[in-house]
Amino acid sequence: MAEPSITWIQGATVVDSEGSREADVLFCDGKVRAVGAVGAMGDVPEGAAVVDGRGRILMPGLFDMNAHLREPGREDKEDMATGSAAAVQGGVTGLLAMPNTDPPVDSAGMVQSVTDLAAAKSPIPIFPAGCLTKSRAGAEMAAIGEMACLGVKLLTDDPSPVEDAQLLRRLMEYARGFDLIVASHATTPALVRGGSVNEGEVGYFLGLGGMPSMAEEIAIFRDVAIARHTGCRLHIQHVSSARGLEVIRRAKEEGIPVTCEATPLHLIFDDSAVCGYDTRFKMDPPLRAVEDREALLEGLRDGTVDVIASNHAPHSVFEKNTDFASAPFGASLFDTLLPALHHHVLAEGGLSLEILVEKFCLAPRRLLGLPEPGFREEAAVDAVLFNPADGTEVSQTFLKSRGCNNPFLGQTLQGRVEGVWLGEKRLLG
């Protein structure tokens, strides 16, 4: 019989749904066996791996509910193995994969294919999202019922909207019958066509086509109205504008079942980041004005923003190493998620660690109907040990993602992921 796997983490600041406290934590055979005051749990069990948690934060792993893994079809950009390795390095222990693969995930067969690939290649659970429309073409309903039978919990055509309002209404009515979430890449294509940056002073100065925030706001208003009519659960992906967020806030007050997410880059940067024509900062929706960024941070504090999600979108060097207007949208974020958020949003942005854990660890799982991890006896082990005093040097050799487009490349971020545990396995450290 195999010896039990035992890990004793001593003196860490433990943060989960119960708040923050100093504690010793014992893991054994994939379960949390004991949590107690520092030094009060007796002797270290024989054979235990002892981890010094002093000055460190022990928290549940991040769950990223908006990630583009590219497999199948574009493994030159990313695949399940590289994407999951990069995710673990950034503190992620579970994720929802967007369905814009080649071919798209629009049927039970494709859901099963992605599920099998993930099981074979990834050390962390990867849940496939399903398309709303066949081939993400926006014309016909995808095989929603058969995907729901295989456990799909969220439908989206991200990074495209469903332009046909009547079709979206029918999709929401059908999805509601399966208690599925309809997620929206909220934009109005006619208003952003040819654009590559936020419409405003920076874009005018750079001579680049603009993508006005009203394109997002109009789409959010429309989608919220359809959710009100159908009763379907609606999730607005990567909100970027203050006015768009205000539409969501009012919908919540009205009792409409709408939630939303914000990305780390929209919380950290504004549109001045594109002034050097750096294509790593070209994304959809684009980085907005300072006041939009500040509104998103306030939305996290007051509860309007439900979830932080990366919108991880890796691209090849060939694709991104071109002029700004021609480059594809998206940034590769997995490798640096927790250090970047700690450095820019906690240390500099004044957001609390408890809010970060709620919005990036607990709320996404709750929204998708998944078990919430935590440090209570007999809970399954799902944990990240983070050292806020150390640094993460973001070099090309550090990155595990195939995406060349990490915005923090060449920087040293304050904070480092030292350990990741999931079940009986230590995945990092």
pTM value is 0.97
Distance in angstroms (rounded) separating the CA atoms of residues 172 and 235: 12
Is 57 a residue whose pLDDT tops 80? yes
pLDDT tens, residue by residue, 245-284? 999 999 999 999 999 999 999 999 999 999 999 999 999 9
Q: Residue 158 in 3-state DSSP?
A: coil
Distance in angstroms (rounded) separating the CA atoms of residues 143 and 217: 29
Distance in angstroms (rounded) separating the CA atoms of residues 346 and 369: 27
Distance in angstroms (rounded) separating the CA atoms of residues 411 and 391: 10
Could you tell me how many residues make up the chain?
429
Question: Identity (one letter) of the amino acid at 200?
Answer: G
Distance in angstroms (rounded) separating the CA atoms of residues 87 and 93: 7
The pLDDT confidence band at residue 47, using thresholds 50, 70 and 90, is confident
pLDDT tens, residue by residue, 61-120? 999 999 999 999 999 999 999 999 999 999 999 999 999 999 999 999 999 999 999 999
Q: Across the chain, what does the average pLDDT equal?
A: 96
Nearest to 309 by CA among 237, 365, 259, 369: 237
Mean pLDDT of 336-359: 93
Position 4 scores a pLDDT of 66
**Structure-token match 């439908």, residue found:** 155
pLDDT tens, residue by residue, 307-337? 999 999 999 999 999 999 999 999 999 999 9
Is 51 a residue whose pLDDT tops 50? yes
Is 52 a residue whose pLDDT tops 60? yes
| 285-316 as b/e: b if 16+ CB within 10 A | bbbbbeebbebbbebbeeebbbbbbbbbbbbb
The pLDDT confidence band at residue 1, using thresholds 50, 70 and 90, is very low
The secondary structure of residue 141, as a DSSP letter, is B
Mean pLDDT of 275-294: 97
Classify domain 61-367 at the CATH topology level.
Answer: TIM Barrel (3.20.20)
All structural domains of the chain with their residue ranges: 6-58+377-390+411-428, 61-367
pLDDT tens, residue by residue, 383-429? 999 999 999 999 999 999 999 999 999 999 999 999 999 999 999 99
Q: What is the DSSP string of 315-384?
A: --HHHHSS-TTTSPS-B--GGGHHHHHIIIIIITT---HHHHHIIIIIHHHHHTTPPPP-SSTTPBPEEE
Q: Answer whether 6-58+377-390+411-428 and 61-367 agree in fold.
A: no
Beta strand pairing status for 6-16 and 57-59? parallel
Q: How large a percentage of the chain has pLDDT more than 90?
A: 95
Position 82 scores a pLDDT of 98
Neighbours of 116 (CB within 10 A): 10
pLDDT tens, residue by residue, 170-197? 999 999 999 999 999 999 999 999 999 9
Q: Please report, for residues 61, 108, 114, 224, 423, the alpha-carbon distance to residue 380 in angstroms, rounded to integers and kept in the order given.
A: 12, 29, 25, 37, 6
Residues 6+ apart with CB under 8 A from 304: 245, 248, 249, 252, 260
Position 286 scores a pLDDT of 98
Position 2 scores a pLDDT of 53
Q: CB of 403 within 8 A of CB of 332? A: yes
Is 37 a residue whose pLDDT tops 80? yes
Position 212 scores a pLDDT of 98
Specify the CATH superfamily of domain 6-58+377-390+411-428: Urease, subunit C, domain 1 (2.30.40.10)
